Structures are given as C-alpha cells and as structure tokens.
Amino acid sequence: MGTWEHKHTEITTATPAQVWSRWAVATTWAIDDPSVEWALFDGEPCNGSTGKLKSPGSPAQKFTFTCVEPLRRFDFAFNLPLGTVSITHLVEEQGKGNYAVTHGVRVEGPLSRVYTALLGRKIAAGFPDVVNAVLNAALVSAA
C-alpha cells in the first residue's frame, strides 16, 4: 500500500483560538481556500462527525472528522475507492507568543499514486496561500 504526504508550516502570533475560529467554521473555508466552493458540517466538528466539501468543477464530497482536538488539531478524511485523502491541521506553541500552524495532506491506499497525481499535489501546492489566508484572517479578527 502506497503513501504520500506533504506539510506546510508558518510561524504566527495568531493564537490557537484565533486560528481555530477559521478552521472550525465551515463558511470560512471558501473564504480562505480558493479550491473550496463551499463546505458544511453535519453538526459540531468532533471525532467521527461528517461534512461535505465542494470544489469548483467537482461534485461535493463527503468527509469524516478523524481527529478533532479543540484549539490544537483539526483533521478530516475523504474515503475514495481504494484510497484515502486526509487533510491535517495542527497548532503548536513555539514560545514567546509564537505558534507553528501546519496544514498537511496524506494520500494512502493501493491507488495512492493516482490520487496523489489527481488531488494530493494540487492540494499541497495551495497550502502556502491557504495557510497565510487563514493566519491573516485570524489576526484581523483579533484587531
């Protein structure tokens, strides 16, 4: 079974609560990420809960929250035929009022090479802009 993974990290003064306010509200996803047309959650994000995400030109896809730790971690996964695409988000304290904010993508399964080529690399290429959009909006919301 193949696996491919990519992560992007930025250091910020945005607090975990400010970052969480962008991650945990479905309506902010389309604002922060141009590859998201809309997103919705089936209730509060928690381990095992679900939602849907629509990208421009693609049908809506159901996802499942796989690891939700408020103010720290926010992961979800799309189950595809013979593969899984997981999106990870993590805030880690760096000291002196700084935090590392990381977005990641992990593609697993027998068709991981196909899904990496079709989805994974495109998602990863957008991370620098998406992470910066999240952080800029988080900092503005605090002003």
Buried b (16+ CB within 10 A) or exposed e, 3-12: ebebebebeb
Buried b (16+ CB within 10 A) or exposed e, 58-70: eeeeebbbbebee
CATH number at residue 17: 3.30.530.20
Selection from 85, 62, 64 nearest residue 74 by Cα: 64
> What is the residue type of 33?
D
Task: Write the pLDDT tens digit of every residue in 33-87.
Answer: 999 999 999 999 999 999 999 999 999 999 999 999 999 999 999 999 999 999 9
* Count of domains observed in the chain: 1
Task: Write the pLDDT tens digit of every residue in 8-48.
Answer: 999 999 999 999 999 999 999 999 999 999 999 999 999 99
pTM of the shown model? 0.94
Contacts of 65 (CB under 8 A, 6+ apart): 45, 46, 47, 48, 49, 50, 51, 74, 75, 76
Domain encompassing residue 28: 2-142
CB 9 within 8 A of CB 101: yes
Contacts of 113 (CB under 8 A, 6+ apart): 2, 4
